[in-house]
Amino acid sequence: MRCVVCGGWHHKDVVHLDYVGHAALTDRLLDVDPLWSWEPLAFDETGLPAIERNGGMWIKLTVCGVTRLGFGDAQGKTGGDAVKETIGDALRNAAMRFGAALDLWHKGDLHADDADHAAPPEKEVKPKPRINKQQMQKATAAIIDCIESQDELGMKEVIDELDEDEQQFIWPSFDTKQKSEIKRMLHSANASTREGAAE
């Protein structure tokens, strides 16, 4: 009988787990760090990412300047689908080390025991960052100009000059369409930068 939950054919006692796909994970990483990047841990003699003897690949994922390892495999797939599956699996594995979607990897309530014994958290009072609003207006205008002219590297340069507090300060200045375009352009600029460094 076909499963009414997922539409597939499997044992009646199977456990359905939530899942974060490649696109959703990429969006989460971009929300945290628009300049995140990954690279294979090793390369083979032809210059391609090294695949270990069991068919998997180790990668290095860098988020907010911190690099952590991850491992992915294609789980029996072959061809182009296997490459995409290996990369996606490795990214999810490495991102878990940063805390991305931990509740989906854990089959129960990850913090159930903590909730029973934890004292009420104290409200953390963060000092307000000193932001030069005039400079932020100029940066916002420069980013909008880069969107209009599709200057990906120019946008990357503008954002690289802003610290984390400044990036968070100007982010609400953009509408949903602009935010999506900023993420897309930064991702493309990072890819171009990585390709240039590899040559």
Q: What is the DSSP letter of 56?
A: -
Which pLDDT score is estimated for 16?
A: 44
Close Cβ partners of 2 (under 8 Å, ≥ 6 residues apart): 8, 9
Sequence ranges of the domains in the chain: 17-107, 135-193
Give yes or no for a contact between 53 and 20, defined as CB atoms under 8 angstroms apart. Answer: no
Instruction: Please list the ranges in the chain whose pLDDT falls under 70.
Output: 1-22, 101-121, 125-129, 196-199
Q: For residue range 55-111, list pLDDT tens digits in order.
A: 889 999 999 999 999 998 888 777 777 888 888 888 888 888 887 766 555 555 555
d(CA 139, CA 137): 5
Q: Considering the domain delimited by 17-107, tell me its CATH architecture.
A: 2-Layer Sandwich (3.30)
Phi (first) and psi of residue 47, to 5 degrees: 90, 0
Stated pTM of the model: 0.46
